[in-house]
Amino acid sequence: GRSRYLALSSCSIDIFPGEFVCLLGPSGCGKSTLLNMLAGFEKPTQGSIEFQGVPLEGPSPERVVCFQDAMQALLPWATVAGNLNFALKMRGVPRDKWPEMVDRYLSLVDLCSYAERHPPELSGGMRQRLQIGRALAVDPKVLLMDEPFGALDAITRSQMQAELLRVWERTGKTVVFVTHDIGEALTLADRVAVMSKGPASRIKAVIDVELSRPRGRKQEGLLAAYVEQIESLMHVDELL
């Protein structure tokens, strides 16, 4: 039979409403596996995951996933507005409310001028904005984001980070964001959960990033101290 692979062990974290948390670790450390468990796509073989005090039993519209490849989530044959209509339909919103709500979500992610375009016609950054807008149209309590900007060029990635923070601040959603980039984690997160390398990865530390936003050059010295702290945690892995 197949040998068993232990992806995660000793992972414990509390995530609070409205918080922005990054799961940070090297490739192959189980970040996406943990995110899939938070989404309800996979079940832990030991322990439990609770949402608002209740054990997760499976996927729920209260927790929506955004992928690195936005086309995994979007309907390529539907227009930008049509993708949002679909989300509103799934949410059970009456059809007569759709136009007003579509306009609101398009405005939120700055895609009003592209309502009649189709996803394949959009740039990578626009697709991600549409994916975020569609996720928000479901009105989840939690956005689970699996390296959503990993395939974007550096300039677009930086723009999308700023865009995501703007949307997060306006909506107050809880965000759990997977990344292997220390700079990205420190740009975005209230707290960073640093994971060890796999197999049997664990959460080694949860670091509070006590810096005001936007975070940039004025805080370089303080950011450097956080980078050093995280790198030292990761470097211990390399020595083992």
Of 92, 115, 139, which one is at a domain's C-terminal end?
139
pLDDT of 237 reads 61
pLDDT of 2 reads 53
Same domain for 15 and 102?
no
pLDDT of 238 reads 55
Same domain for 3 and 58?
yes
State the pTM of this model: 0.93
Of the pLDDT bands very low, low, confident and very high (cuts 50, 70, 90), residue 198 is: confident
How far, in Å, are 50, 55, 95, 142 from residue 187 at the CA level?
Answer: 28, 31, 39, 19
The residue that leads in pLDDT, 212 or 7, is 212
Same domain for 208 and 109?
no
Q: Is the dihedral of CA 151, 154, 155, 158 positive or negative?
A: positive
Element (H, E) at 191: strand 191-195
Same domain for 47 and 153?
yes
Q: Which domain holds residue 16?
A: 1-62+141-240
pLDDT of 121 reads 98
- 4 has a pLDDT exceeding 70: no
Q: Is-contact 81 115, C-beta < 8 A?
A: yes
- 82 has a pLDDT exceeding 60: yes
Of the pLDDT bands very low, low, confident and very high (cuts 50, 70, 90), residue 120 is: very high
| pLDDT over 70 percentage in the chain | 96
**What values do phi and psi take at 192, rounded to 5?**
-120, 120
How far, in Å, are 36, 62, 88, 115, 205 from residue 46 at the CA level?
Answer: 15, 23, 36, 45, 21
Which residue, chain included where needed, has tokens 């970040």? 31
Instruction: Read off the CATH number of the domain in which 8 is found.
Output: 3.40.50.300
Tell me whether residue 173 is in a domain: yes
